[in-house]
Structure 1
């Protein structure tokens, strides 16, 4: 009697598991996700004469979409740009700076000592709201909010 009950219970669990798999929509992707990235508006660090303002103040992104983001430093300040949570939840394709491409698994910090620029190519992989900011300048407003859906 116990074996029949156990078997019925296992069959019921298997049925529930199978039904839940069928109910979840599957992700649809045709081809390589990182080709043809959407170019975001350039992020400019130091849009004022003091060098603390940034433009734009926020980005709205989608998971699974490839993006390229050019970051331009005005040279008014030194900027150690970090985004700890955001950088953890992107697939990084490459960083271009000067005449080189840097292919790495992750970014810890992008440091701009003078007027310069870098471009990152990435795919967000986790929804959330994140901050990208210049270390030591967050309180002065050198921060960008990134919304990922």
Structure 2
């Protein structure tokens, strides 16, 4: 009988630890953001350059991403499937904080930047691109695990 109790206690302890991860952390997870490498469109070497072709992300981790364009090419940054798979906390651009449910497009007609604060909630592989310039290489992927 004592062996049965010890086994049961060990099973209960192991069972209580399974699944214990960041989602059980105290506080507002959306406020503890991890900065991603900047996503820059255009460079001195090429008007069609993209600084990052892929971002590896995890669900339940809050991120901030600065998106910028050098203004050499007009860029309408879009990631429609990705926008549907995240919790968008806010967007900061030009000294303004924008609260929105989703992000349709960041349009860079000239040089500029915007910072996106978000939390991935659905795993998958999601393309991002400058609309109409994908064939010039202005595209990449968000991979969420």
- With the shorter chain as reference, the TM-score category is 0.7 to 0.9
Corresponding residue for 1:74? 70
**Mapping 1:82-121, distance limit 5 Å:** 82-121=78-117
**Mapping 1:26-105, distance limit 5 Å:** 27-105=23-101
- How far the C-alpha of 1:131 sits from its partner, in A, is 0.7
Corresponding residue for 2:121? 125
CA distance in 2, matches of 1:25, 1:44: 37
2:143 matches 1:147: yes
CA distance in 2, matches of 1:136, 1:65: 31
CA distance in 2, matches of 1:90, 1:117: 20
* Aligned-residue CA RMSD (Å): 1.6
- How far the C-alpha of 1:50 sits from its partner, in A, is 4.3
Count, aligned residues: 127
Tell me if structure 2 keeps the 8 A contact 1:92–1:106.
yes
Tell me if structure 2 keeps the 8 A contact 1:98–1:118.
yes
Tell me if structure 2 keeps the 8 A contact 1:50–1:76.
no
Tell me if structure 2 keeps the 8 A contact 1:49–1:76.
no
* Residue aligned with 2:116, SS: strand
In structure 1, stretches of 5+ residues that fail to align are: 1-21
Normalised to the residue count of structure 2, the TM-score between the two structures is 0.82
- How far the C-alpha of 1:58 sits from its partner, in A, is 0.8
Q: What do the CA deviations read for 1:58-99 (whole angstroms, capped 9, x no partner)? A: 110000100000011010101001101000001000000001
Normalised to the residue count of structure 1, the TM-score between the two structures is 0.80
Work out which of the two has the higher radius of gyration on C-alpha atoms and give 1 or 2: 1
